[in-house]
Amino acid sequence: MARPGFFLPKILKSNAHQGEQPILSCADPKTLESLHWLACYLTTGKHMAFYSSFGTVLLLLAVTAPAALAFGFGGAMAARSGFAPLRWCGKGYTAIVRGVPDIAFFLFFVIALDQGFEWLRHKVKCPDWDMPVRQGSDFVVCDAAKMPLSSSPQWVHESYGFAIAVLTFAIVFGAFAANVLYGAMGTVPRAQIETAEAYGLSHRQTFWRILVPQMWVFALPGLGNLWMILIKATPLLFLLGVEDIVYWARELGSSKTAVFDFPHPDWRLYYFLTLLVFYLALTRVSEVVLSRVNMRLSHGQATVAGDAQRRAA
Amino acid sequence: MSCTQTIEDYALRSIGIGERLLPRSDFTLCEQVVLIGSGLIWNVYFGLLALGFGFILAVSVAMAKAAPAAWVRKPAEWFIFVFRGSPLFIQFFLFYETFVLLPKIGIDLNLGFAEITIETRWLTRAWAGALIVLFLNTSAYAGEIFHGALRSIPRGDMEAGDAYGFTGWHKFRKITFPTMLRLAWPAYTNEAIFLFHATTLVYFSGFPAWQQKGDALYYASYFADKTFNPFVPYPILAGYFILLTLAVILIFGLVNARLNRHLPQDRRQKLRVRPQVIR
């Protein structure tokens, strides 16, 4: 990637929303009454982009959570493997994220992944390129290997940025999920496994039919915590250069002079208060849902909670 | 330029001592190690002070949340919910904007007999503003940990205290507080590690670095931006933070040993360190 600062939000700023006329009769905002003015102000094209960026955050959560779970499951399986190098890989994967601030990982992986992809494409597409890829402070690959191609439209660039962000989130949170799942697999009562073996189930069958269905209830508190942390990590999208809610809150809230259609002083505080309320609501809803799921999963389990349900029924 | 020269120039750069300009080209490994290490001073500063002040508030919040009176309990519950339920990143932004909106010159307070002006400008600087946010944030997290520990104090311990005639402050000081601390300590160790990791967010949120005096991550990303090579500065940063984490584990482990010294060997609580991600 030979575009320094590509991931800084200001470069990514799209021009798509400028010049759009707000709906309602907002043709000349300077003449409007206060309430009507507010209604017009809150429905400008930029505000619509702001509202849809809430969707971006939810989309990130919806895509990242299963991806991280898959990474975590793979990591936990590798860490339990009987084949030593694979086991070291699994353990190393979970260990490496500990002890280092995750924001460093977010900043690191975005550049590292991007350069990694471009380097791989460079090797495949331009085998007869004779200059070194790293020239001093520059990272130079042939034009055909650029990700995405410099000729591709704006939305490809934006979705590539988003995809890199999702992958980064999945790798980092996958390590934590691997840790949780590894612990949960070890917590399933030994007797359950022994019973399965006594019935003549193979190793693979024991794993998929006995261990995996039973481990979720042990993994749930940890995964629930992880979900909460994932929610609270989403504002970091802003650092990864995606136009998310933090980007729009800063953009829309900053003071606007009379040159703009809707001049106002510095309102960033109110925009950030909105974000705060959004996140508080999201955590509250998650708490309620998680406690429901926990109840559901405890059903019929050989645990205290499961026993309590049996007695109540 | 030799490495000792670099250390002289940049070892205290993050607090404004030494060379004024950051290196601009031909970065040596030594420069990166020294400058990122210099930034670590700020991480330690934020972490230590927030943890120290936060401990006091956290214990108070935990006691308040356990109080039977609703007018004490409710504010503590809301405090914990708001700070634990929202991202630290947003909290930084929010506080920074609030501090910026405060009048630039200061607030005039009329006390009747004299008029004093409270300076507010320093609140927008990271050393004070970000410290306040981190302090409140860690208080909420640790408060929840302490509250959990408070609830899991064995009933027998409290009954024994009653039987010996302990009451009020004396009972709190001799029985409730030490037991709570002992039960909460492993979780509190994790919270301390979290907090040190969270200090890296300071210069990436609202608070701007003034005269390029930043923390370790600020310098690491400076190098990554300039050299376009993340594979050197970030591993250096990671190395520093692993050392910092080990130091925290060592110190908290010593305290843990002291808190558990009266227990038989097999009932002592081990520290289980599982640092987690961003809040």
Amino acid at site A72: G
The reply to whether A7 touches chain B by the CB within 8 Å rule is no
Q: For position B97, what pLDDT does the model report?
A: 83
Asked whether the beta carbons of residue B224 and residue A111 sit closer than 8 angstroms, the reply is yes
Residue A119 DSSP one-character state: H
Q: For position A221, what pLDDT does the model report?
A: 79
Chain A: give the shortest CA distance to residue B277, in Å. 6
CA A47, CA A261: separation in Å to the nearest integer?
Answer: 13
Chain B: give the shortest CA distance to residue A222, in Å. 11
**What are phi and psi for residue B121, nearest 5 degrees?**
-60, -40
CA distance between the termini of chain A: 62
Contact by Cβ (8 Å): A251, B105: no
Kindly indicate the confidence band of residue B106, based on its pLDDT and cuts at 50, 70 and 90: low
Q: For position A15, what pLDDT does the model report?
A: 42
| Residue B198 belongs to a domain | yes
Q: What dihedral do alpha carbons A172, A177, A179, A183 form, nearest 10°?
A: 180
- Give the pLDDT mean for B38-49: 91
| Residue B48 belongs to a domain | yes
Q: How many CB pairs under 8 A join A and B?
A: 134
Of B86, B241, B245, the CB nearest to A276: B86
Asked whether the beta carbons of residue B198 and residue A102 sit closer than 8 angstroms, the reply is no
How many CB atoms are closer than 10 A to CB A303? 16
Better-scored residue on pLDDT, B53 or A116 = B53
| Residue B227 belongs to a domain | no
Chain A residue closest in CA terms to B198: A101
Chain A: give the shortest CA distance to residue B97, in Å. 5
Stated as kind and residue range, the H or E segment containing A134 is strand A134-135
Give the closest residue to A70 by CA, choosing from A177, A217, A207, A168: A177
Under DSSP, is residue A127 helix (H, G, I), strand (E, B) or coil? coil
Kindly indicate the confidence band of residue B143, based on its pLDDT and cuts at 50, 70 and 90: very high
Contact by Cβ (8 Å): B137, B279: yes
Sequence-distant (6+) residues with CB within 8 A of A49 are A17, A243, A248
Q: For position A14, what pLDDT does the model report?
A: 42
Chain A: give the shortest CA distance to residue B114, in Å. 33
The reply to whether A285 touches chain B by the CB within 8 Å rule is no
Percentage of chain B exceeding pLDDT 70 = 90
Q: Average pLDDT, whole number, for chain B?
A: 83
Better-scored residue on pLDDT, A300 or B148 = B148
Q: For position A5, what pLDDT does the model report?
A: 39
| Residue B225 belongs to a domain | no
The CATH number given to whatever domain includes residue B184 is 1.10.3720.10
Contact by Cβ (8 Å): B65, B143: yes
Asked whether the beta carbons of residue A112 and residue B97 sit closer than 8 angstroms, the reply is no
CA distances from residue B199 to B67, B131, B263 in whole angstroms, order as listed: 32, 9, 35
Q: For position B1, what pLDDT does the model report?
A: 59
Give the closest residue to A295 by CA, choosing from A221, A212, A209: A221
Chain A residue closest in CA terms to B204: A239
Determine whether A63 is exposed, middle or buried from the number of CB atoms within 10 Å of its CB (0-12, 13-18, 19+).
Answer: middle
CA A41, CA B169: separation in Å to the nearest integer?
Answer: 57
Q: For position B75, what pLDDT does the model report?
A: 93
Chain B: give the shortest CA distance to residue A40, in Å. 25
Asked whether the beta carbons of residue B278 and residue A236 sit closer than 8 angstroms, the reply is yes
Determine whether A247 is exposed, middle or buried from the number of CB atoms within 10 Å of its CB (0-12, 13-18, 19+).
Answer: buried
Q: Read off the tokens for A204.
A: 């693979």
Residues of B with CB below 8 A from A72's CB?
none
Asked whether the beta carbons of residue A107 and residue B241 sit closer than 8 angstroms, the reply is no
Q: For position B105, what pLDDT does the model report?
A: 58
Q: Read off the tokens for A257.
A: 């002079």
Asked whether the beta carbons of residue B228 and residue A232 sit closer than 8 angstroms, the reply is no
Of A5, A108, A231, the CB nearest to B230: A108
| Residue B6 belongs to a domain | no
| pLDDT surpassing 60 at residue B261 | yes
CA angle A62, A66, A71 (to 5 degrees): 140
Q: For position A136, what pLDDT does the model report?
A: 60
Give the closest residue to A101 by CA, choosing from A239, A193, A212, A1: A239
CA angle B20, B21, B27 (to 5 degrees): 135
| pLDDT surpassing 90 at residue B48 | yes
Ranges A149-163, B27-41, B55-69, most confident: B55-69
CA distance between the termini of chain B: 41
Place of tokens 């990637």: A1
Place of tokens 């990700």: A147
Asked whether the beta carbons of residue A104 and residue B234 sit closer than 8 angstroms, the reply is yes
How many CB atoms are closer than 10 A to CB B111? 7
| Residue B223 belongs to a domain | no
| Residue B25 belongs to a domain | no
Amino acid at site B198: A
Residues of A with CB below 8 A from B246's CB?
99
Of A5, A104, A239, the CB nearest to B220: A104
Give the closest residue to A98 by CA, choosing from A172, A181, A170, A165: A172
Q: For position A99, what pLDDT does the model report?
A: 61
| Residue B279 belongs to a domain | no
Give start and end residues of each alpha helix (H) in A126-153: none
Question: Which of A60, A103, A141 to probe by mutation at the B interface, max B CB count within 10 Å?
Answer: A103
CA A203, CA A302: separation in Å to the nearest integer?
Answer: 22
Question: By residue range, what is the domain housing residue B135?
Answer: 40-206+235-267
CA B186, CA B205: separation in Å to the nearest integer?
Answer: 30
Place of tokens 């405060």: B102
Domains of chain A: 32-312 (1.10.3720.10)
DSSP one-letter string for chain B:
--HHHHHHHHTTGGGT-S-SSPP-SS--HHHHHHHHHHHHHHHHHHHHHHHHHHHHHHHHHHHHHT-SSHHHHHHHHHHHHHHHHS-HHHHHHHHHHHHHHS-SS-EEEE-SS-EEEE--GGGGSHHHHHHHHHHHHHHHHHHHHHHHHHHTS-HHHHHHHHHTT--HHHHIIIIIHHHHHHHHHHHHHHHHHHHHHHGGGGGGTTPPPBTTB--HHHHHHHHHHHH--TTTHHHHHHHHHHHHHHHHHHHHHHHHHHHTTTS-GGGPPPP--------
The reply to whether A268 touches chain B by the CB within 8 Å rule is yes
Place of tokens 């809430």: A54
Residues of B with CB below 8 A from A108's CB?
224, 230, 234
Give start and end residues of each alpha helix (H) in chain A: 9-12, 34-41, 45-79, 84-97, 102-125, 154-187, 190-198, 203-205, 212-233, 245-253, 268-298, 304-312
The reply to whether A134 touches chain B by the CB within 8 Å rule is yes
The structural domain count of chain B equals 1
Of B204, B230, B276, the CB nearest to A103: B204
Residues of B with CB below 8 A from A171's CB?
none
A203-216 core/surface letters (b: 16 or more CB in 10 A; e: else): eeebbeebbbebbe
Residues of A with CB below 8 A from B198's CB?
101
Q: Read off the tokens for B58.
A: 């956290």
Contacts made by residues A65-68, CB under 8 angstroms, sequence distance 24+ = A65/A227, A65/A230, A67/A166, A67/A167, A67/A169, A67/A170, A67/A174, A68/A169, A68/A170, A68/A173, A68/A174, A68/A176, A68/A177, A68/A226, A68/A230
Q: For position A244, what pLDDT does the model report?
A: 77
Kindly give the confidence (pLDDT) of every residue in chain A, 313 residues in length, as a single tens digit, with 9 standing for 90 and above.
333 433 434 333 444 444 444 444 666 666 667 777 777 777 777 788 888 888 888 888 888 899 999 998 988 888 887 788 888 888 887 777 666 677 777 778 777 888 888 788 777 777 766 666 666 666 667 766 666 666 777 777 778 888 888 888 888 888 888 888 888 888 888 888 889 989 989 888 888 888 888 888 788 878 888 888 888 888 877 777 777 788 888 778 777 776 677 777 777 788 888 889 999 999 999 989 988 887 877 776 666 667 777 777 7
How many CB atoms are closer than 10 A to CB B118? 10
CA A203, CA B158: separation in Å to the nearest integer?
Answer: 49
